Copies of this chain bind each other. A is one copy, B any other.
Amino acid sequence: MVKLYDYAGSGNSYKIKLLLAQLQRPYETVEVEIFRGESRTPEFLAKNPAGRIPVLEIAPGEYLAESNAILCYLASGTALWPEAPLLRAQVLQWLFFEQYEIEPTVGTVRFWKLTGRDKTQGSLLEKKTAQGQDALRSLDRHLEHRSFLVGDAYSIADIALYAYTHVAEEGGGFSFDSLPALRRWLKRIEEQPHWIPGPAPYSAAAYL
């Protein structure tokens, strides 16, 4: 059984748990207290040199890091990562978009807002908010005439982009008000078989 080094509040970890639930695949979790330095110990750095969760232990002592790489690994051979080279590459395009345009903006601003850290970020908060809202607009534009991100079928691209996007309004940093295609797409994902909610809400108290 695979073992997930997890943090309940992480959208990156939630992606993996959503996919595993939808694949109906059992797994164990190990909670890593990232805000108490548990992902920066020598033991953890041997699992992932970047010192971040999630990490998947796919066999004893064999580790895979980076949430979107883990999605690809787990979805190999399933319809959620299509094999045709062009579709496969288009899925990857959206996975890279997610880690570059959404996670460091929408994900980070939500974390700051929910934990009160937004007060000390100065102009960076404003910059990341603008970049994130711009990325959400790109997504909305792409979804205007599509049901899913790639090839008109649900894939790990939808799972990856959904994770931080659907909680973007929490904390008040972003708004879906003028993004109707994005809203419809979020609802469509929540209607998929074996969908589970997540990530766990941040509690400000835990980070003070």
Contacts and interface: CB of A to CB of B under 8 A. Distances in A.
B92 A85 contact: no
B86 A62 contact: yes
A104 interface: yes
Contact of A138 (B50, B66, B67, B142): B50
A92 B75 CA distance: 13
Interface residues of A, number: 40
How many copies the complex holds: the figure is 2
Interface in A70-106: 70, 72-73, 76-77, 85-86, 88-90, 92-93, 95-97, 99-101, 103-104
Given A62-B86, A73-B86, 19 more contacts: A45-B141, A49-B139, A50-B97, A65-B97, A66-B92, A66-B93, A66-B96, A69-B90, A69-B92, A69-B93, A76-B88, A76-B89, A92-B92, A96-B96, A96-B99, A100-B103, A104-B104, A122-B122, A124-B124
Return the 8 tightest CB-CB contacts between A and B, nearest first. Answer: A73-B89, A69-B92, A66-B96, A49-B138, A69-B93, A66-B93, A76-B85, A49-B142
